[in-house]
Amino acid sequence: MRTALGFLMIAFSLTTLAEQGARLIDSRPQAEEPAKNEGLENLEEGSATEELSRQFHLSEPGLSGIITDRTITMLGREFYRQFTQKSNESPIISETNLSVHERPDARWGSQVWIAQNNRIILQATLPPRISDIEGYAEAAFDQVQQRLIQETIMRAIGNDPDLADEEI
């Protein structure tokens, strides 16, 4: 009997609270909503595009020249450091976004690859000795720079509407 009475009291109080909440929502001033939509209705199609472009800086180019470090070991970090030092001097690499990845191996050294837009540009195996890294980083820099130059030339020459970017 007590539990039934308790449930009845809880149900009654919940419906009373719901009714009070509905009254509060209905008594809210209605002038706020048209004010929000007024600006959107007055915008024409061209000016809406301009407004979005202004708000989100769509006319400005995105970030470029970023080289992300996805290496794990000290060997990989040293390779990344040497590679980025050399690439800061190059105007070709400074306009592209690259990522340097590493898969360490205790026996054979580390496997390193450099990717652009999730596409591998260079893949190499680093020796276990850290003293040899500078030569590998310089060779990797030269190869990546050559590859980026080749891709730029192919994009300029091979503008075929029948082929997608990856099919050339």
* Same-domain check for residues 156 and 82: yes
* Same-domain check for residues 19 and 75: no
* Same-domain check for residues 43 and 103: no
* Same-domain check for residues 148 and 100: yes
Range 26-46 average pLDDT: 52
* Same-domain check for residues 51 and 96: no
* Same-domain check for residues 76 and 124: yes
Q: Identify the domain containing residue 114 by its residue range.
A: 67-160
Question: Integer distance in angstroms from the first to the last C-alpha of the chain?
Answer: 81
Range 11-31 average pLDDT: 53
Structural domain count, the chain: 2
* Same-domain check for residues 24 and 79: no
Statement: residue 26 has pLDDT above 50: yes
Residue 29: predicted pLDDT: 55
Q: Label residue 36 by pLDDT band (50, 70, 90).
A: very low
Please tell me the pTM assigned to this model. Answer: 0.60
In a domain, 165, yes or no: no
* Same-domain check for residues 39 and 93: no
